[in-house]
């Protein structure tokens, strides 16, 4: 046993796959210990906030200001509002308004803004311009107001008695706050999803749940397949015929059709993650059963099995002691593949809208499903779907690598 494990860990492919898988598992276990936010808590009001560091505006006003005199601060401030695209848009409007093109220099910020302020009129209709574009220019105009001013911003508070605004302080353009002194800073490395939930926290929890689904489905499928395969292969005769008949039937009847039918019939309310895993397990044992049977058939008439029979051992003993050890490596490989296909099956089901209930736990498939429903892929909200695909691909990839590695160790014909 020890020797076998040593041998397995000498296989490069297995080690790479194993490391990826363990890293994922470690993150899934450790992350919730450090960050205790509920994965399903809706924190964002609105959909798909971009990944980034969110600093409370209110708290930063209250924090101690530090004065930093940075030369490029003004330029950066302008660039933030007035990027290359905006400059081109302004030029387009001005040209449409009748200003000669050679008089517009989009690299000269001051002159450009001057021309804009003098010529732009929100009420003016330019022929052929869509309403959306008109609104865009109105928003652009509003955001450009005061861009070149060097004055600070006044903070005022409402007097509760008189209702008038009273100045409580000013924020100068050169004021900075130290982010570690701001009381409320939330890092959203992967932004928020369509419900306003923190994608990273949700993703890690979802990975955990999906792995559990994969394990439950894989173990159920492997147990059923192993039992049927052993019975069919070792007992033979009529038992073999019946089991093989059933197995052949379910080989051609597509498993996902059964999966869809059963999941739909169970109904949304009863569909927990565990139920879905069980259903997946019960519809995907076919390959294991077939393969185990063919291995057992070739083992059945080996000398050591016959010897065991002559010694009067019971069938159970023979199967456990003389047959199982020989197919154990194969069963482990089959289990690995079953787990990864179980995770994929859950994802496929969820995209069809037949996954586990949404309110309880996130799964990788459910996250994908919601991202698709809210059209994250069309809107360019990559953080809502891409990390999910990467995690699923990493899981299946690592499991297949492990499987290939095991295959090369146990199956000398495949060694390179």
Partner 1 sequence: MKGYRQYFLRKLGWFLITFVFAFILNFILPRLMPGDPVATIVARLAQGMTNTTGVQAIYQQYADLFGTNKPILEQFILYIKNAANGNFGFSFSQYPRTVADVLKSAIWWTVCLQFPAIIVGWIIGNTLGALAAYLKRGFDKVLMPVSIFVSNFPAFGMAVILLVIFGVTLKWFPTSGGYGFDLMPSFTWSFIWSVIVHYQLPFWSIVLIAIGGQAIGMRSMSIYELNADYVKYSRFLGIKDRKIVGYVFRNAMLPQVTGLALSIGTMVGGALVAEIIFSYPGLGLTLLNGVRGQDYPLISASTLLITVMVLSANFIVEIIYGLIDPRIKAAQAD
**Which residues contribute to the site for partner 1 (CB under 8 A)?**
248-249, 251-258, 260-262, 264-267, 340, 344, 347-348, 351-354, 368, 372, 377-378, 380, 382, 385, 389, 392-393, 396-397, 400-401, 404, 413-414
Nearest Cα residue to 276 out of 366, 335, 355, 362? 355
**Whole-number minimum distance, CB 414 to partner 1, in Å?**
7
Q: Are 383 and 191 in contact (CB under 8 A)?
A: yes
**Whole-number minimum distance, CB 377 to partner 1, in Å?**
5
Nearer residue to partner 1 within complex by CB, 205 or 381:
381
Nearer residue to partner 1 within complex by CB, 91 or 290:
290
**Whole-number minimum distance, CB 70 to partner 1, in Å?**
35
**Whole-number minimum distance, CB 352 to partner 1, in Å?**
6
Location of structure tokens 């496929």 = 348
Using only the alpha carbons of the chain, give its radius of gyration. 32
Nearest Cα residue to 356 out of 279, 273, 264, 281? 273
DSSP 159: -
Nearest Cα residue to 198 out of 389, 383, 13? 383
DSSP 64: P
**SS3 assignment, position 185:** strand
**Whole-number minimum distance, CB 399 to partner 1, in Å?**
8
Nearer residue to partner 1 within complex by CB, 162 or 265:
265
Tokens of 92: 């387009």
Question: Residue 384 and residue 190: Cα distance in Å, rounded?
Answer: 8
Distance from chain centroid for Cα 10? 32
Question: Residue 218 and residue 202: Cα distance in Å, rounded?
Answer: 24
Location of structure tokens 């926290």 = 201
Nearer residue to partner 1 within complex by CB, 273 or 388:
388
Nearer residue to partner 1 within complex by CB, 175 or 240:
240
Count of positions (residues) in the chain? 416
Nearer residue to partner 1 within complex by CB, 56 or 278:
278
Tokens of 299: 């083992």
**Whole-number minimum distance, CB 26 to partner 1, in Å?**
21
Nearest Cα residue to 294 out of 377, 368, 376, 229? 229
What count of other Cβ atoms lies within 10 Å of the Cβ of residue 159? 10
**Whole-number minimum distance, CB 261 to partner 1, in Å?**
5
Nearer residue to partner 1 within complex by CB, 42 or 257:
257
**Whole-number minimum distance, CB 32 to partner 1, in Å?**
25
Nearer residue to partner 1 within complex by CB, 308 or 400:
400
Nearer residue to partner 1 within complex by CB, 75 or 249:
249
**Whole-number minimum distance, CB 366 to partner 1, in Å?**
13
Q: Are 391 and 364 in contact (CB under 8 A)?
A: yes
DSSP 50: P
């Amino acid at each position: 046993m020890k020797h076998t494990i040593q041998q397995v860990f000498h296989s490069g492919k297995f080690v790479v796959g194993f490391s990826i898988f363990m890293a994922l598992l470690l993150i899934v276990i450790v992350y919730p210990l450090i960050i205790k936010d509920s994965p399903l808590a809706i924190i964002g009001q609105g959909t798909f906030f971009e990944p980034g560091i969110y600093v409370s505006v209110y708290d930063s006003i209250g924090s101690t200001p530090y004065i930093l005199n940075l030369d490029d601060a003004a330029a950066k401030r302008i660039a933030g509002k007035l990027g290359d695209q905006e400059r081109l848009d302004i030029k387009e409007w001005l040209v449409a308004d009748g200003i000669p093109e050679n008089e517009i220099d989009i690299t000269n910020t001051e002159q450009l803004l001057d021309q804009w302020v003098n010529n732009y009129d929100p009420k003016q209709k330019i022929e052929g311009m869509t309403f959306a574009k008109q609104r865009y220019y109105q928003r652009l105009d509003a955001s450009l107001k005061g861009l070149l001013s060097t004055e600070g911003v006044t903070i005022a508070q409402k007097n509760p008695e008189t209702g008038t605004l009273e100045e409580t302080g000013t924020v100068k353009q050169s004021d900075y706050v130290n982010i570690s002194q701001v009381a409320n800073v939330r890092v959203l490395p992967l932004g928020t999803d369509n419900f306003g939930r923190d994608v990273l926290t949700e993703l890690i929890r979802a990975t955990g749940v999906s792995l559990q689904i994969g394990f439950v489905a894989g173990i159920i499928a492997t147990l059923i397949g192993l039992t049927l395969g052993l019975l069919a292969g070792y007992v033979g005769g009529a038992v073999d015929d019946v089991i093989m008949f059933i197995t052949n039937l379910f080989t051609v009847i597509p498993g996902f059709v059964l999966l869809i039918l059963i999941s739909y019939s169970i109904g949304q309310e009863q569909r927990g993650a565990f139920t879905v895993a069980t259903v997946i397990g019960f519809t995907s044992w076919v390959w294991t059963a077939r393969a185990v049977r063919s291995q057992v058939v070739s083992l059945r008439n080996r000398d050591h099995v016959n010897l065991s029979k002559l010694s009067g051992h019971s069938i159970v003993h023979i199967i456990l002691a003389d047959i199982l050890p020989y197919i154990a490596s194969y069963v482990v490989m089959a289990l690995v593949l079953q787990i990864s296909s179980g995770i994929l099956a859950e994802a496929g089901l969820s995209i069809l809208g037949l996954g586990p209930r949404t309110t309880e736990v996130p799964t990788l498939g459910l996250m994908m499903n919601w991202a698709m429903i809210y059209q994250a892929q069309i809107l360019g909200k990559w953080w809502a779907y891409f990390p999910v695909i990467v995690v699923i691909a990493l899981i299946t990839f690592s499991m297949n690598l492990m499987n290939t590695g095991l295959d090369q160790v146990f199956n000398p014909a495949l060694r390179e």
